[in-house]
Chain A
Amino acid sequence: MGYTTLVVLTGTGLLGACSGMVGSFAVLRRRALLGDALSHAALPGVCLAFLIVGERHLPAMLFGAFLTGILGVLIVTGLRNGTRIKEDAAIGIVLSVFYGAGIALSRYVQNHTARGSRAGLETYILGKTSSMILSDVYFIAATALVSLTIVLLLYKEFQIVAFDAEFAEVQGWPAFRLDLLLMTTIAVTVVIGLPAVGVVLMAALLIIPAAAARFWTDRLSLLLGLSAAFGAATGASGTLISSRFNWAAGPSIVLVGTTVFLASVLLGTRRGILRQLMAEWKYRRQTRERSLLRRLFVQVESQLPESTNFSRREFHSPVDQRLLRQFERRGWLVTQSGKHMSITQRGLQEAAEATLQHRLIELAFEDSVTDVVPQAGEGFATSIPPELQQKLEQRLESAGRHPLRCIAGLSGRSRA
């Protein structure tokens, strides 16, 4: 790997990490597309700075980009708060009008200034990573460091603003100023990324790593770290691919990001599709098992404690048959002869517990007791407060329907 490639790799990697981190807040704050407006709005700033300075002076052009970018965000906020224009239209207006102004200015520069044709302003539209030099990398590193420091110092404040801005305001946090600081940090990141990935695709670098990381965790600290890691990996490997196949760098980086995102959608441990399917499958299996256990118990309940025999024929559906074989393997059932099976001591215990749970909930709902809270995610475990459970169990016992008491005699006898 050559020296230039190494420089560019470091630069795009750092850029990806930085935008991944600050992008997390944009995604959480539902401000993802404001970043898009910001990056488009930065284009006229680049051209204006060139017109004023008269040469390709990078810091000046980036400063111009920063100013018009922030102006764009302020206009969006103003339109949203002060007029009947909705936020989506406001973002669209700022994005497209500023971009139009940008391309008009860029053409003007090309046609009117002596150095214009060599200004390379159009590289800001799609970006050009290969022009990155060591000083650019230092610049990106410094910005990343500053952003990181700001995020670490104001971690708690940003957290509360990101999740519940109204609450933050009520609690007396300067929510508006924190928001502005957050937007400024995002703006700085966008601006330093412009020369590399361009105004159109910069938003992707903000949104995609954070949206991908969201599939893996619900914790902000983890989200920030993961999103930064995704961003760094995306930036670096996108650059590698683009130099290997001689593709444009900006789109390559974005498409690597898209791949990471799609992988996260599938595999993410928190919200991934596979995990959701697994959970659903597990839940269904558990429900079926419980239901069969309950039906088994009801089948033998009248014969207890003398016998736990039942006929296989009662459970003829393929699902039940398969489950019966599974139960037998677990030692919950034994085959007596051909069609006849009996429930073992352990199986009886399981069946009684499943039945007890079911009857308790039945009773509770009969009385329409609302403090029985079905807890999603824990399968069908339903939490009944202990006092209520005691009361309901007593009622079952007096009706002679308490499953555990029914088998108590049995276990006592076999123990004796």
Chain B
Amino acid sequence: MIDWPSFLSSNARLDFWTIVVGATGNACCAILGCFLVLRRMSLLGDAVSHAILAGIAVAFLLTGSIAPMPMFLGAMTVGLLTALLTQTLSTFGKVPEDSSMGVVFTSLFAIGVLIISSPAMKSSHLDDCILVGVLDMVSLDTTVFAGYRVPHVLLTLVPMLFIILLFVTTFWKELKIASFDPQLATTMGISALLMHYLLMGLVAATTVATLESVGTIVVVAMLIVPAATAHLLTDRLGPMIGIAVLLGITSAVIGCLWARWANSNAAGLMAVATGLQFSVAVVLAPRHGLLSKAMHNFRLSIRIVSEDIIAMLYRREEQADHAEISSTGTATREECLSAAGGGWLANLALPWLSHRGRIAVDSAGQWKLTFSGRQDGESLVRSHRLWESYLDQHFDLPADHLHEPAEQIEHFIGPELQDKLASELKNVKADPHGRRIPPATGEE
């Protein structure tokens, strides 16, 4: 019998095994969780992991021991029963699905609690580990495997991980289709229903395997949160599973060390750690994060506001050329701001534009287009007037209804679309209001 890793002190060795147990359990949960999150069945996972308590308790009541096999059987039965009853109640009883799920799993959980909290069961201390998880204690309960001293629960957790890996690699294609498009899966002859119940069975089994270490409620965190975090970070299933597993493992490390440092519950802190990872991802995720969305919106807004200012200045120059009214082709700061709709964005847009050399201010405080600014303005006004002409030709709109939509769409018409519109319109020279459509850059 070898106490491995032998270079660690006995206390550190205990922590090491605690982390290994937590990480193995979390890896199991994270893989399954990805499919739960993608199939929008997170709450069913939640319900199943609560409800299996009834199965475990009944198995315990019948066999009088905490042997794994009867517990797995009991849990799998109740897990599938939960999925089935929820479905039946909402189909035949017309109970909304969330209510029917709520009724089913709380009732089963209540049965479980009633049994394990009865005086006869008190000695087993099942209720403690099921409700709060005793991850920090499981590495004390060791067994000898191939000459090494390992925590007892690993003997169920590691096979569980292999079963899950086997399941996922065997049914990879089927799971993928069933997760993203159940209807398509059914038409292709893959039973989405079978996948559904297989998944629920595995969720139930995983909950049993992790029961002692994290308990029935924290396991929900390990199922859903790493997967949801990974979903924020990537759009591909393979990487999503990889990231979720990695997040599960790191949260086990963080949770266990944190619990050692703060002298608290490792399972609970593991849930908190994964929650923190999630909140970081919510804010910072490269494409789906709040920050990146806000940045994107900000960039779009500032572009639109700047373009409004440039278009206004271009129109003034046009008027000056035609001497329609006394116009100099310039505008004061206030006029520029009001053209952009005012507000703080407009105030940012002016320095932004002059920094990029699109507009310049003279000593009298008058703003004026530069050469490149004029080119931008020409393109914008071309988009605007082409769109007006297009609307006029193809939609039955009165002349005074053309400006509004064009004002919005002008920001999104690139050179390619301009050319298409122009050829569609047989190269018209003026918009419906009789104003000249500026030619494409490089022509004339």
Residues of A within 8 A of B (CB): 27, 30-33, 35-36, 40, 79, 82-86, 88-89, 91-93, 95-97, 99-108, 111-112, 122, 125-126, 200-201, 203-204, 207-208, 210-211, 214-215, 246-248, 250-252, 254-255, 257-258, 261, 265, 271, 273
Contact of A92 among B43, B259, B282 (CB under 8 A): B43
Assess whether A32 is in contact with B114, with CB atoms less than 8 Å apart: no
Assess whether B103 is in contact with A211, with CB atoms less than 8 Å apart: yes
A71 to B109 Cα, complex, angstroms: 26
Q: Does B111 sit within 8 A of A, measured CB to CB? A: yes
Query: Interface with A: B34-42, B325-333, B412-420, which one?
Result: B34-42
A90 to B226 Cα, complex, angstroms: 12
Query: Interface with A: B89-97, B187-195, B237-245, B427-435, which one?
Result: B89-97
Most interface-central of A31, A84, A89, A111 (chain B CB within 10 A): A89
Query: Interface with A: B163-171, B269-277, B316-324, which one?
Result: B269-277
Assess whether A85 is in contact with B228, with CB atoms less than 8 Å apart: yes
Q: Does B217 sit within 8 A of A, measured CB to CB? A: yes
Assess whether A207 is in contact with B106, with CB atoms less than 8 Å apart: yes
Assess whether A92 is in contact with B220, with CB atoms less than 8 Å apart: yes
Assess whether B113 is in contact with A201, with CB atoms less than 8 Å apart: yes
Contact of A97 among B96, B111, B264, B272 (CB under 8 A): B272
Smallest CB–CB gap between A80 and chain B, Å? 12
Q: Nearest CB to that of B45 among chain A residues?
A: A92
Q: Does B343 sit within 8 A of A, measured CB to CB? A: no
Contact of B268 among A88, A93, A107, A204 (CB under 8 A): A107
A326 to B89 Cα, complex, angstroms: 38
Q: Nearest CB to that of B46 among chain A residues?
A: A92
Assess whether B132 is in contact with A103, with CB atoms less than 8 Å apart: yes
A321 to B189 Cα, complex, angstroms: 47
Assess whether A101 is in contact with B95, with CB atoms less than 8 Å apart: no
A215 to B197 Cα, complex, angstroms: 28
With A96-B271, A99-B218, A247-B118 as contacts: A207 and B99 at CB distance below 8 Å: yes
CB within 8 Å of A: which B1-51 residues: 37, 40-43, 45-46, 50
A41 to B398 Cα, complex, angstroms: 57
Residues of B within 8 A of A106 (CB): 132, 265, 268
Assess whether B96 is in contact with A204, with CB atoms less than 8 Å apart: no
With A92-B220, A99-B271, A255-B114 as contacts: A83 and B131 at CB distance below 8 Å: no
Q: Does B98 sit within 8 A of A, measured CB to CB? A: yes
A106 to B268 Cα, complex, angstroms: 10
Residues of A within 8 A of B41 (CB): 88
Q: Does B231 sit within 8 A of A, measured CB to CB? A: yes
Besides A96-B271, A99-B271, A126-B117, 15 new A-B residue pairs in contact (Cβ under 8 A), listed by A number? A27-B99, A31-B98, A32-B96, A32-B99, A35-B102, A89-B42, A95-B217, A97-B225, A97-B271, A104-B271, A107-B265, A108-B262, A122-B131, A201-B109, A215-B93
Contact of B114 among A112, A122, A248, A257 (CB under 8 A): A248
A387 to B225 Cα, complex, angstroms: 64
Assess whether B278 is in contact with A93, with CB atoms less than 8 Å apart: yes
Most interface-central of B50, B98, B220, B232 (chain A CB within 10 A): B98
Residues of A within 8 A of B102 (CB): 32-33, 35-36, 203-204, 207-208, 211
With A204-B110, A208-B103 as contacts: A96 and B133 at CB distance below 8 Å: no
Residues of B within 8 A of A102 (CB): 268
Can you report 18 A-B residue pairs in the complex whose CB atoms are below 8 A from each other? A27-B99, A35-B102, A83-B232, A85-B231, A100-B221, A101-B268, A103-B267, A104-B259, A106-B265, A106-B268, A108-B265, A126-B117, A200-B106, A210-B99, A211-B99, A215-B93, A254-B110, A258-B110
Contact of A200 among B45, B50, B219, B269 (CB under 8 A): B50
Q: Nearest CB to that of A272 among chain B residues?
A: B93
Query: Mask for B70-111, Cβ within 8 A of A = 1, else 0?
Result: 000000000000000000010011111011111100110111
Assess whether A93 is in contact with B225, with CB atoms less than 8 Å apart: yes
A252 to B111 Cα, complex, angstroms: 8
Assess whether B221 is in contact with A251, with CB atoms less than 8 Å apart: no
Smallest CB–CB gap between A162 and chain B, Å? 12
Q: Nearest CB to that of B287 among chain A residues?
A: A84
| 10 interchain residue pairs of minimum CB distance | A100-B271, A104-B268, A97-B275, A96-B221, A204-B106, A254-B110, A251-B110, A96-B220, A107-B265, A103-B268
Assess whether B288 is in contact with A84, with CB atoms less than 8 Å apart: yes
Q: Does B224 sit within 8 A of A, measured CB to CB? A: yes
Assess whether B114 is in contact with A251, with CB atoms less than 8 Å apart: yes
A95 to B269 Cα, complex, angstroms: 14
A248 to B114 Cα, complex, angstroms: 6
Assess whether A203 is in contact with B106, with CB atoms less than 8 Å apart: yes
